Structure 1
Amino acid sequence: MSKSRTAVEDLSEDAAREELAALASQLAAANTAYHAEDAPELSDAEYDTLKRRNAAIEARFPELKREDSPSDQVGAAPADGFGKVNHAVRMLSLGNAFEAEEIAEFDTRIRRYLGLADDAPLPYTAEPKIDGLSLSLRYEGGTLMQAATRGDGAVGENVTANARTIDDIPVTLSGAPEMLEVRGEVYMSHADFQALNARQAERGGKTFANPRNAAAGSLRQLDPQITKSRPLRFFAYAWGEVSEPLADSQMGAIRRLEELGFQTNPLTALCDGPTEMLAHYASIEEQRATLDYDIDGVVYKVDDLDLQRRLGFRSTTPRWAIAHKFPAELAWTRLEAIDIQVGRTGALSPVARLLPVTVGGVVVSNATLHNEDYIAGRDAKGEAIRDGKDIRVGDWVQVYRAGDVIPKIADVDLSKRPEDAKPYAFPATCPECGSDAIREEGDAVRRCTGGIVCPAQAVEKLKHFVSRAAFDIEGLGAKQVEQFYRDGWIKEPSDIFDLEKNYGAGLQQLKNREGWGEKSASNLFAAIAEKRTIPLGRVIFALGLRHVGEAASNLLARHYGTWDAFETAMRAAADETGTAWDDLLGIDGVGAVMARSLVTSFAQEAERASIERLVAHLTIQAAARPDTEGSPVAGKTVVFTGTLERMTRAEAKARAEALGAKVSGSVSARTDIVVAGPGAGSKEKKARDLGVELMDEDAWLALIGQA
């Protein structure tokens, strides 16, 4: 077992569930700040550490993986300066695995979903995971018409002129389908990277930290001539929209792409199950140092394309593929300081400031220290980690980057500890506002009690409010929020909608500020006005309620429909008894921790008043319903229980939701249909007691027209 997993293995299920919820919220806010506003709230080290922590907990507790899991988030929003391209087929990210047993679990999950026996043939492709920039190439009639970056998966940047300068990308194809969207990775070889950095240094220009950054920066140049001067390369490994299939299998499609003139990776192989997958992984890892390009793992994909289609997708990742990341790389350096950062939920997060050191080709100057227990050399149960060695300022520490990207501190060299080094005293007060920082029983994190009086929490909540998945106000990003907060213009979300009114000469004042002009100021006020009408799901997410992420917000919006219904239900559920509380807990995907966070927020006078001031400015649109015309189960609540014999539980849920049904995990008076298979127990009995309609699997399939 790796040292990084020790604390995770010791987590209780309740603690794991709560930490996953907190990580989902914190990483969602960080993603928006980094990708949408170009104003990171966390350093790369801090962000990567949190994401690896999330992945480690999910690996330990796969049944607790959230619908809004950070593991399922996709890349970056399109940058200004490029035209935007809507991907006809979304460009998704991949789920990550770090341990060999996770690959066996991946295979088991797929077999369970498909209903395949353990000994049934199920070949996979295994290919190096190139550490570059994803690119989609659209060919029409054999001619390259458009090239786009992945962006946020749905919308990317138009880099057609730049892509045409890359030698590995054919401008015309012979024998290709009429419509073909080729996807792959733009990268830079090690030799070309070193030569580029040498030229940049000679001219006094920008040097790059690693080949991946160099490739991304080169492709995303506004001047194609700069891209042309950079030695970019391209590996093709996938496709998007096609007018006709390339092949029946993943491997066959890759060979077809090669025949069409694309470079494909020669290390791609066909594997029969996890044993061969792991053997090929080991083979690629052994060759890694001799390759002239960066890779950070191996990607496994189900080879049969019909099975890929059946497996389908989660919100942002395919079920039929996974990235097996390489293990951590290590280096020793000096810990120069420990800083405390305060997050949106008040969590005090310790960050190690390091003497910069290169780890795996990247200069690392920060690393996570997790929490006060980790610094002290113990886990959440008080048992020793790192042989009980604590971490002190001045120590020589071993830094590693799990999956090649996540800086953490693994060990301490006591032989080099300064004589005057003192044990680190974790603060009991918030460094931002001076309020008490308390650690509740069972919580690994100490939190500031200042709430809205804490500048760090207030600013972070405001940044979250204007983030891309929330109100997404054009021209009002993290930097502007910080500026307006410092100036006293906004203290809470409702103040945003009073900006122009409260500062009667607001336009005049704003346009005189650095970085603003009359047009940009006018555009800002217009953008704010435009967001006075907004969907319910975005409003709920924008409130920044603890444990309530984007997916959960949309789930709540679909369940309650309107703001009035949602608010009334939250107030009615405050005593955690009665039908309102039961109804809230009955929503599939809402647990007790999230439910309690929701009702607590609406029960607090100051927070509720702030919400009411905000809502007074808004016209909140009812949650959109799927187009389920003619569906016999649209709007009905369905519960599946017992063993399903003609489809897996995951397939049953997906079909029901596609037809407009709500799938719940529990039976209540609000349940319309219970589909009971062999072995159904208490849920079937409760359905009979409540008079809920019961049917078997055959009757269900007949009802939805899929018998």
Structure 2
Amino acid sequence: MAQSAIKEEMDAIVAELNQHNYNYYVLAMPTIGDYEFDKKLRHLAELERTNPDLADPNSPTQRVGGDITKNFVTVNHKYPMLSLGNTYNEQDLRDFDERIRRAIGDNFQYVCELKFDGLSISLTYENGKLLRAVTRGDGTKGDDVTNNVKTIHTIPHQIKTHEAPDHFEIRGEIFMHKAAFLKLNAAREELGEIAYANPRNFASGTIKMQDSKEVAKRPLDGFIYFLYTDKNEFKNHWDSLQAVKNWGFHVCEHNRLVNNIDDVLSFIHHWETGRFKLSYDIDGIVIKVNSYAQQQELGFTAKSPRWAISYKYKAAEVETILEKVTYQVGRTGAVTPVANLKPVLLAGTTVKRATLHNANEIERLDLHLGDTVFVEKGGEIIPKVIKVNPDKRKPGSVKVQYLHNCPECGTELIRKEGEAVHYCRNDEGCPPQIVGKIQHFISRKAMNIDGLGDETIETFFKRGLINHISDLYTLFQKSDQLKGIDRFGERSIDNMLIGIEKSREMPFEKVLFGLGIRYVGETVAKKLAAGMRNIDNLAKATVEELIAIDEIGQRIAESIVEYFGKSEHLSQVELLKLARLQFEIEEKIITLDSDSLIGKTFVISGVFENFGREELKDMIEANGGKILSSISAKLNYLVAGDNMGPSKLEKATKLNIPIISDRVLLEMIAGK
């Protein structure tokens, strides 16, 4: 293969794996399984080994973990948080054992530990008190999440012993138990939010929340698995684990000290099936040489210790029969196909249903009714059909064809260009959409109406009391009908009506989010409210005007224009106005910190190490400057951070607009 073709392949793999790393570590929403990721990483490493001159210095083979989120203070790790080499086969473990023996002889032991599927954390203690908690980040620096970690009951704020050194660092894994995950994920779905794929993602998303009060509402747990001290307090890893357990830390009771590789393999075989009985997820086993002196002698590679390795289990899968395909209609009209299966035991639970995602997936699988299918359940709580066994297909079986019409209301489904999902357009007449929209409207993150729940909304809809969001505000005139509903007494009615009355005070961005416009989440609603000021401006806005608002893209803009293009939606807005809901932003009186930026206009683009973009925006406005939504000849300065869009840079350069850093901006504010 030509060098140019090899380089092109390597660059493509690097870009793909870097994106997967970002999805996994920063967004906590992985889009590829561990096994597939590791296969691609090994392939890249082999290409780099045979073509060292073509290797990218920023290759994921040279990095640990992912990028740093900008929402927290970044802290350098005193001891790098390296990743472990991993394998999926036993021969690699025997090869690892042989390398150890060649280096240090036969007199050594291993510690076997469960490999928790969670979020790595580094805890620093001084004089027995928790000083700092930092995520893995990129291995050399991570995010300070101390306040959030302090909400976890199994992580001590203060240890009650004089045996511990004055200063030490301890490594562990934060995770969420399966039962808690299922309960909390169900609550997210009720709010119309995207469900997390597995407990690991939920734990990661939780620990990176800005509000520690919200973190405290989510039951996280943690296990400790390594101790660092400036002086050698212990001779081996096993003794250190017993010590930190005595200090009050949560150490996994399943750790084992073993004498040889055969004992290691026995441990692995036991937990290959035993893991499904645990209350939390593990995805493998970690094997470490016990002696610290021997660890030191074995040393490190650039990204991992030579004295440790992880064995990763492949995702559990099983064969069963596809009996039929049904379809679920969501709040936004998205229609999701579901495989109804012959019940089968998988990973410790009986599986009857599995997701099929969309029409593309059905086509890829070439599904036929009665097919024997493979169902997978690795880190994913919700099972999925991964492939068909064509050898067991019965002659004459019927190919699964995706629906043309909504299974609930019969409306013809649409599928926009570039999207995988089919939608029912009948959002004002399709029962699950109507109920889902009203349930979303009353939810905590939208209008937060006390005294109303999802079941109550379903009951009201079935009885004809409500058919639209605006009908909630007519319930004051329907008290006699309300009193006729079972288990809905006078006190319940009063509480509900008080909650509805209070909702009239909710700010514009909450009302906007509550309308349930596709792609308009909580953050987007805030941006739109700030950019458009009131609902009338928003309803008349063009796609171009909407895109000019920071962080509003083409897809969101088109969805908004489409929403307000329907007369039914405009009628609902008018009825909600009559119900005295807030449809314009509350103007705030701004007191300037200084007048150093008066008369100057700015656009902020990119990512900044020391400030969030909102912080810079507030800073500029507090000192008299004005934020523009796009680059034009009227712009005075472009404040540029890392990863700025090339189109903005090109346009600013063409217009000779000064491009400044956040440091220069601070100097301007200070009058330098």
Normalization by structure 2: what TM-score?
0.58
The Cα of 1:69 is off from its aligned counterpart by: 6.5
How do residues 120-199 of structure 1 correspond to structure 2 at under 5 angstroms?
Answer: 122-124=80-82, 130=116, 173-174=160-161
CA distance in 2: counterparts of 1:530 and 1:690, whole angstroms: 50
Partner of residue 590, structure 1:
552
CA distance in 2: counterparts of 1:463 and 1:174, whole angstroms: 51
CA distance in 1: counterparts of 2:69 and 2:27, whole angstroms: 21
Amino acid corresponding to residue 622 of structure 1 in structure 2: I
CA distance in 2: counterparts of 1:346 and 1:609, whole angstroms: 20
The Cα of 1:687 is off from its aligned counterpart by: 4.3
1:563 aligns with 2:539: no
Q: Out of 490, 509, 529, which is 2:501 matched to? A: 529
Once the two structures are overlaid, the 10-residue window that deviates more, 475-484 or 367-376, is 367-376
CA distance in 2: counterparts of 1:445 and 1:509, whole angstroms: 39
- Asked if 2 retains the 8 angstrom alpha-carbon contact of 1:391 and 1:424, the reply is yes
- Asked if 1 retains the 8 angstrom alpha-carbon contact of 2:338 and 2:355, the reply is yes
Q: Out of 281, 296, 317, which is 1:295 matched to? A: 281
The Cα of 1:344 is off from its aligned counterpart by: 2.2
User: CA 1:676 to 1:621, structure 2 compared with 1: closer, same or farther past 3 Å?
Assistant: closer
The 3-state SS of whatever aligns with 1:353 is: strand
Q: Out of 459, 475, 481, which is 1:509 matched to? A: 481
The 3-state SS of whatever aligns with 1:330 is: strand
User: CA 1:545 to 1:257, structure 2 compared with 1: closer, same or farther past 3 Å?
Assistant: farther
The Cα of 1:608 is off from its aligned counterpart by: 1.6
The Cα of 1:295 is off from its aligned counterpart by: 3.1
Q: Out of 348, 366, 382, which is 2:353 matched to? A: 366
Q: Out of 397, 412, 424, which is 2:373 matched to? A: 397
User: CA 1:439 to 1:490, structure 2 compared with 1: closer, same or farther past 3 Å?
Assistant: same
Partner of residue 630, structure 1:
593
Partner of residue 490, structure 2:
518
CA distance in 1: counterparts of 2:349 and 2:591, whole angstroms: 50
The Cα of 1:601 is off from its aligned counterpart by: 1.2
User: CA 1:396 to 1:554, structure 2 compared with 1: closer, same or farther past 3 Å?
Assistant: same
CA distance in 1: counterparts of 2:504 and 2:498, whole angstroms: 10
Once the two structures are overlaid, the 10-residue window that deviates more, 674-683 or 690-699, is 674-683
The 3-state SS of whatever aligns with 2:482 is: helix
Partner of residue 459, structure 1:
435
1:607 aligns with 2:607: no
The Cα of 1:476 is off from its aligned counterpart by: 1.7
CA distance in 2: counterparts of 1:683 and 1:405, whole angstroms: 42
User: CA 1:653 to 1:586, structure 2 compared with 1: closer, same or farther past 3 Å?
Assistant: farther
The 3-state SS of whatever aligns with 1:619 is: coil
1:107 aligns with 2:64: yes
How do residues 236-275 of structure 1 correspond to structure 2 at under 5 angstroms?
Answer: 236-237=223-224, 258=245, 260-265=247-252
The Cα of 1:421 is off from its aligned counterpart by: 2.5
CA distance in 1: counterparts of 2:224 and 2:586, whole angstroms: 38
CA distance in 2: counterparts of 1:554 and 1:454, whole angstroms: 28
The 3-state SS of whatever aligns with 1:110 is: coil
Q: Out of 343, 352, 374, which is 1:356 matched to? A: 343
- Asked if 2 retains the 8 angstrom alpha-carbon contact of 1:335 and 1:397, the reply is yes
1:656 aligns with 2:628: no
User: CA 1:692 to 1:393, structure 2 compared with 1: closer, same or farther past 3 Å?
Assistant: same
- Asked if 1 retains the 8 angstrom alpha-carbon contact of 2:529 and 2:584, the reply is no
Provide, for residues 375-413 of structure 1, a one-character-per-residue CA deviation record: whole Å limited to 9, x for no partner: 23x3xxxxxxx5xxx212222211002424231112222
Q: Out of 497, 521, 526, which is 1:554 matched to? A: 526
Normalization by structure 1: what TM-score?
0.56
- Asked if 2 retains the 8 angstrom alpha-carbon contact of 1:131 and 1:187, the reply is no
Q: CA RMSD of the aligned region, Å?
A: 6.0
The Cα of 1:568 is off from its aligned counterpart by: 0.8
How many residues get paired?
494
- Asked if 2 retains the 8 angstrom alpha-carbon contact of 1:585 and 1:591, the reply is yes
The 3-state SS of whatever aligns with 2:383 is: strand
Q: Out of 427, 439, 444, which is 2:403 matched to? A: 427
Provide, for residues 454-503 of structure 1, a one-character-per-residue CA deviation record: whole Å limited to 9, x for no partner: 222222222222222211212222211111111111111111111112x1
The 3-state SS of whatever aligns with 2:457 is: helix
- Asked if 2 retains the 8 angstrom alpha-carbon contact of 1:432 and 1:454, the reply is yes
| Structure 1 residues not aligned, in runs of 5+ | 1-56, 73-94, 135-140, 144-152, 189-211, 213-232, 239-245, 269-281, 301-323, 379-385, 642-647
Partner of residue 324, structure 2:
337
- Asked if 2 retains the 8 angstrom alpha-carbon contact of 1:401 and 1:408, the reply is yes
Q: Out of 695, 699, 703, which is 2:660 matched to? A: 695
CA distance in 2: counterparts of 1:183 and 1:403, whole angstroms: 16
The 3-state SS of whatever aligns with 2:444 is: coil
User: CA 1:705 to 1:373, structure 2 compared with 1: closer, same or farther past 3 Å?
Assistant: same
- Asked if 1 retains the 8 angstrom alpha-carbon contact of 2:369 and 2:400, the reply is yes
CA distance in 1: counterparts of 2:65 and 2:497, whole angstroms: 53
CA distance in 2: counterparts of 1:420 and 1:184, whole angstroms: 51
Provide, for residues 494-525 of structure 1, a one-character-per-residue CA deviation record: whole Å limited to 9, x for no partner: 11111112x1xx1x432442232221111011
Amino acid corresponding to residue 563 of structure 2 in structure 1: S
The Cα of 1:543 is off from its aligned counterpart by: 1.3
The 3-state SS of whatever aligns with 2:506 is: strand
CA distance in 1: counterparts of 2:647 and 2:527, whole angstroms: 26
Provide, for residues 509-551 of structure 1, a one-character-per-residue CA deviation record: whole Å limited to 9, x for no partner: 3244223222111101111111111122212211111122222
The Cα of 1:351 is off from its aligned counterpart by: 0.5
Amino acid corresponding to residue 595 of structure 1 in structure 2: A
- Asked if 1 retains the 8 angstrom alpha-carbon contact of 2:608 and 2:641, the reply is no
CA distance in 1: counterparts of 2:482 and 2:332, whole angstroms: 30
CA distance in 2: counterparts of 1:516 and 1:183, whole angstroms: 46
Q: Out of 423, 445, 461, which is 1:469 matched to? A: 445
Partner of residue 639, structure 1:
604
How do residues 194-209 of structure 1 correspond to structure 2 at under 5 angstroms?
Answer: none
User: CA 1:601 to 1:184, structure 2 compared with 1: closer, same or farther past 3 Å?
Assistant: closer
Amino acid corresponding to residue 582 of structure 2 in structure 1: T
User: CA 1:235 to 1:606, structure 2 compared with 1: closer, same or farther past 3 Å?
Assistant: closer
1:443 aligns with 2:385: no
Provide, for residues 258-300 of structure 1, a one-character-per-residue CA deviation record: whole Å limited to 9, x for no partner: 46322324899xxxxxxxxxxxxx9997784367844334899
Partner of residue 510, structure 2:
538
Amino acid corresponding to residue 599 of structure 1 in structure 2: V
CA distance in 2: counterparts of 1:340 and 1:172, whole angstroms: 53
- Asked if 1 retains the 8 angstrom alpha-carbon contact of 2:118 and 2:173, the reply is no
User: CA 1:521 to 1:467, structure 2 compared with 1: closer, same or farther past 3 Å?
Assistant: same
How do residues 372-383 of structure 1 correspond to structure 2 at under 5 angstroms?
Answer: 372-376=359-363, 378=364
CA distance in 2: counterparts of 1:154 and 1:108, whole angstroms: 20
The Cα of 1:426 is off from its aligned counterpart by: 2.5
Provide, for residues 144-191 of structure 1, a one-character-per-residue CA deviation record: whole Å limited to 9, x for no partner: xxxxxxxxx9999xx99xx8xx9x9999934699xxxx9966879xxx
CA distance in 2: counterparts of 1:283 and 1:510, whole angstroms: 64
Identity %: 28
Larger Rg: 2
CA distance in 2: counterparts of 1:334 and 1:649, whole angstroms: 52
CA distance in 2: counterparts of 1:489 and 1:257, whole angstroms: 60
Amino acid corresponding to residue 702 of structure 1 in structure 2: E
